[in-house]
Amino acid sequence: MGWINYVLIAVIAAAAVGGIYSVVKHAKGRGDCCGGGGGIIDTGEKKTLDGPALGKYVLHVEGMHCDNCRRTVERRLDQFEGAVCQVDLKRKTATVTYDRPVDPEQLRLAVTMLDYRVTGIDAEEV
């Protein structure tokens, strides 16, 4: 085996260690876990309800660690007709206020499909 093979093995090993470190760092909630949302432009415009709020669901979500996580969950849940979402990273919650019926299990599924874990949903009246 020539020295080129040893260099190639070292490069592959370093890349593998770096990838594992990044996954562990993300899982522990440290650092720029999701790439920092480099390509995402936050215009500051928030979706609003068309009518008066009927109620809200508070989803308890594990795995959100940064602004990119927050924006991802908010944008996904804002796609539901008649619903707006606001994420609180410190409390690990996504609050969905709605002006027409929304199925909480559909909200859970939407967040789960983003690779976050919903540990509970509380229903509240407005």
Within this chain, do residues 12 and 61 fall inside the same structural domain, yes or no?
no
Vertex 20 angle, CA 18 and 23, to 5°: 110
pLDDT on residue 46: 82
Residue 17: pLDDT above 80?
no
Residue 57 located in a structural domain: yes
pTM: 0.69
Structurally, how many domains does the chain consist of?
2
**Sequence-separated (6 or more) residues with CB below 8 Å from residue 49:** 82, 83, 84, 97, 98, 99
Residue 41: pLDDT above 60?
no
CATH number at residue 89: 3.30.70.100
Beta bridge partner(s), residue 97:
56, 84
Residue 29: pLDDT above 90?
no
Within this chain, do residues 17 and 78 fall inside the same structural domain, yes or no?
no
Q: Which tokens hold the place of 54?
A: 């009927």
Within this chain, do residues 60 and 101 fall inside the same structural domain, yes or no?
yes
pLDDT on residue 30: 46
pLDDT on residue 34: 62
Residue 120 lies in domain: 48-125
Residue 114: pLDDT above 70?
yes
Residue 91 located in a structural domain: yes
Could you tell me the maximum CA-CA distance found in the chain, to the nearest angstrom? 73
Within this chain, do residues 4 and 59 fall inside the same structural domain, yes or no?
no
Within this chain, do residues 71 and 25 fall inside the same structural domain, yes or no?
no
Residue 36: pLDDT above 90?
no
Within this chain, do residues 67 and 119 fall inside the same structural domain, yes or no?
yes
